[in-house]
Structure 1
């Protein structure tokens, strides 16, 4: 791709000019050509300006996936504002926090959330207007159609924020990552090059647009001029249907969704031959799920590691490494190698100095993909991004002699037992293989002799009974002795945040009340 724009508005302008009548976006029965999509974005920009939005302002979207969210993101880029896309899975107090933190002046809300917004409307002091999107109360189409297209583009700087996505926040309220023209364009260019995306391709958007795997993937399609097909919700059967029916070439999914897809009746009989890049990430994939998906999508899978703060993907494990070669089997649990345009180093979390190959440390990332910072949180920004442009991810990991990155755990979840660093993910991978275990989390609990010791908290598989002694013996067969859990607890389910991440802080709290633990 020869185009090197400095702001995302140039992408839509290019395809609307070069391929006005080609289909750009499909959502259910909705079909928009590039020219139609551009006209709609220009009308949204005109409506935003008519409502008094000025550069630097925020709007917020609280909705399931809908083309309006992408239109608003592109229109915000055009007028110099930013779209704060709200995680609809948050609890009501957290939703209120995000909207107020963003200081959103207009709130766009889907029909599923209209009632909840009415209940909290008095607690949203910056919101001047609520616009209902879709359903019987739809106002969005009237709001948009009332304005003539405005093609005036605010002269954005590369580091201006136009979309604000909130991190999941396992230890406190979410933080708004300010994603910029420079960052999103760099991410799109880097991923498009590594995943060979072109205008002939068809990109599926199954992940929610509040997630970087949704919005960044939509902008990736825009960058490449690929046709974009969007699902309102990531239903396993619907995802498979769409891949087959629309001849999807590129998609991003999460392991939990892929596990459910593998269980869809007749999944193995679907024609998924059009797929060239099925990217998956955001959480570890248990090896049993991996094996099922390798049968379902042979030669298609790319494991990706990334984060909101870097606009998405920073490393990838390609299809060639998803193989049955015993000599390379260990790579299936790696995050692959850095994508084009990304540097990754392993640093000592205390000193910030690089550690030798193979030694554990904190994963640091440097790339033009990085966010401008956390909205309204300069101290948190300074803690996350070094003066010379490195993002401290907070993830523990190491790099092997072949350059592959292994993500072990969040630094704060690391267990220090008798002077040994233990990463719970290593233990969790082993326990996930046991037939009686459906879900597992390993935490550090106080130990009089070792300071702290690993404890496994598991959920039994359907129809199975967990025997703690059997699990402990299984661990001793498959792990170094110092890594083996000292105890096992069985729960009905693990506590998770709205994006599905296990809340290990909540699991640790009962054991550490009245005691000191630095890694919380």
Structure 2
């Protein structure tokens, strides 16, 4: 039985009872600030039925406005003028609060300081940090002057940071001195021992990182660190001529300039450097804000890491829409998220399903006052039906749980589900595309568009699709074809109403004998097992079948289970060839910092554990 079957049974058994506020709201569209996404989305597209797996977002939302042609820096000015004394960002762990006007002033100070260090339009400025005020300031300061912000995973170790800095030629690197077990300054001095020989801050000349000229450190316990500037000193270095440059940039920067480089998560191998423009980011957020509107007074809880496309773009929603964004903690901690929702009266949560799972399993979950919490935006992987049930039951104030699909190369969300969607597709699909976005499912071999109901590679064409990968023409051509279709590598299928279901990754397909098996279907089945908290299925080598299925199972706390019980649970629910040959119990999964499972690493671990070649 698949997840949609389970959902239908649960819905019929009372999920949409009068006590639950999780059902679709009926709100007249002429009432300001109370519009819901269903006001904008037709329940049925303008086409009666689809026969080919191609859909345009305007079939679903024909009245969407044209995205704004602006730069990110212009929104900093406009928001400071409209909402000067409103809180823009709150760091609940440290108690730091900054208004829109305060952020603008600090951003301009840092931008002027970067100019004084020789940063010019198009130069790459890296930010290697968890969720901090320094991250936010760097994000907008670089946008002000046309420098390219390079998002660096705060969990990177020496080899990874060396690769990424070299890959895109970072000129200035900004980081905290330390965070938990990450010693950023020490790693940099190990990479660039020349820093230790410097009497103070200054222009760096590194043998291993020849393009890196300046290092800026914040949150240091020491007065000075050899070879590094303190961020407060840099913010005092700007002079009149530098502020004049900022003024000129307001008019000279172009909306099609590359403004951000994001490295892909590396779940399948070496990260690639995705290049995004002002317009990529703004067009996507404009469109999301139309389909998924916020209202004055909303407070956004953002635990997702800022280096990730979900975290960075969501923080910009606050800047563009004039609402407060709350970052619960510098690093991920489920209890801090719950405290932030309670203490700051957050109404919206942005984060992946992994975080929701951890929050609901927090031992003190029931002690938190979550009555302000109304909306969940989640994506990145499928949401187990058990999580949907628990949210509906345990957070009675909840009004919307919206699933979105996107990727780094598409600047975030490209499609999503809505409360107004039919129940049978609302949680079993990723919905339909946003306006201005086209989607199609094609045969990976021929490129032909598939009939509805048949799986193929999901392709996206939209204003927010990336420019390409930095310094990587081969991978750019492989991912972006000549007609600007982004080949996602995801297997998907579309129904006759245009709803899209993600089946798995092309590389996640296990070829067992003559059968191509999508692992996500097996995972969805096992997620309904009452003792299983999480599960991942990978392919492992087999002499006869080429590959065999291995289910990696994490049990709920206090539960025990036999391997054969797991296989028996699958029998009768899945075809015989989809029942995993191997079952292995695990305590944790190897994950990226955004919560995605590194399946290639998990596969290698299982090969070694099972002693397979």
RMSD (Å) for aligned C-alpha atoms:
2.6
Unaligned runs of 5+ in 2: 1-64, 194-207, 224-229, 609-613
Per-residue deviation, 1:267: 2.9
How does the TM-score come out when normalised to structure 2?
Answer: 0.77
Give the SS at the match of 1:197.
coil
- 1:52-78 Cα offsets, whole Å, 9 max, x none, are 111111111111111222222222122
Provide runs of 4+ in structure 1 moved above 6 Å: 510-513
User: What is the TM-score of this pair, normalised by structure 1?
Assistant: 0.90
Which residue of 2 is the match for residue 119 of structure 1? Answer: 190
Return closer, same or farther for 1:267/1:303 CA change in 2, 3 Å cut-off: same
In 2, the alpha carbon distance for the partners of 1:68 and 1:49 equals 17
Check if 1:145 corresponds to 2:230: no
- C-alpha distance in 2, partners of 1:216/1:479? 39
| SS of 1:209 mapped into structure 2 | coil
Distance 1:170 1:29, change over 3 A: closer
Give the whole-Å Cα distance in 1 for the aligned partners of 2:532 and 2:551: 11
Is 1:318 aligned to residue 418 of structure 2? yes
The match for 2:125 is: 59
Equivalent residues in 2 for 1:418-497, closer than 5 Å: 418-447=513-542, 450-497=545-592
What secondary structure does 1:369 align onto? coil
Change (3 A) 1:387 1:420: same
Contact 1:446 1:511 in 2 (8 A): no
Q: By how many angstroms is 1:198 displaced?
A: 4.2
Distance in 2 (alpha carbons) for counterparts of 1:456 and 1:19: 52
> Are 2:358 and 1:260 aligned?
yes
Match of 1:87 in 2: 153
How many angstroms apart in 2 are the aligned matches of 1:2 and 1:175?
30
**Structure 1 SS opposite 2:247:** coil
**Inter-CA distance 106–289: structure 2 relative to 1 (3 Å threshold):** same
| CA-CA distance at 1:214 after TM superposition | 0.8
Verify: 1:339 aligned to 2:439, yes or no: no
1:403 corresponds to which residue? 498
Residue number in structure 2 paired with 1:50: 116
* Alignment partner, residue 289 of structure 2: 192
| Displacement after TM superposition at 1:422 (Å) | 1.5
C-alpha distance in structure 2 between counterparts of 1:499 and 1:207, whole Å: 7
Q: Matches of 2:438 and 2:117 in 1, distance apart?
A: 42
Q: Which one has more relative contact order, counting CA pairs under 8 Å at least 6 apart?
A: 2
* Aligned residues of 2:376 and 2:402 also touching (Cα < 8 A): yes
Aligned counterpart, 1:377: 472
The answer for unaligned runs of 5 or more in structure 1 is 322-326, 514-520
Of 416-425 and 471-480, the range deviating more from structure 2: 416-425
Q: 2:400 aligns with which of 274, 282, 300?
A: 300
Given the alignment of the two structures, is residue 7 of structure 1 paired with residue 71 of structure 2, yes or no? yes
* Aligned mates of 1:461, 1:31 — CA distance in 2: 38
How many positions carry a matched residue from both structures? 508
Describe the SS at the equivalent of 1:68.
helix
CA contact (8 A) 1:57 1:104 kept: yes
| Distance in structure 2 (CA, Å) of the matches to 1:398 and 1:261 | 31
The 5 A counterparts of 1:201-220 are 201-220=298-317
Which residue in the other structure is 2:86 paired with?
Answer: 22
Cα deviation, 1:304-353, whole Å, max 9, x if unaligned, reads 111111111112123455xxxxx835642321222233222111111121
**Which residue, out of 301, 321, 324, partners 1:227?**
324
Give the whole-Å Cα distance in 1 for the aligned partners of 2:125 and 2:350: 26
Separation of aligned partners in 2, 1:317 and 1:476: 31
Deviation string 1:372-392 (CA, Å, 9 cap, x unpaired) is 111111111111112212111
* Displacement of 1:295: 2.4
CA contact (8 A) 2:549 2:581 kept: yes
Counterpart-to-counterpart distance in 2, 1:192 and 1:510: 42
1:151-205 per-residue CA deviation (whole Å, 9 max, x = no partner) reads 3243222221212111111233211111111110011101111111245432222
Distance 1:275 1:86 in 2: 31
- SS of the equivalent of 2:476 reads helix
- Alignment of 1:176 onto 2:273: yes
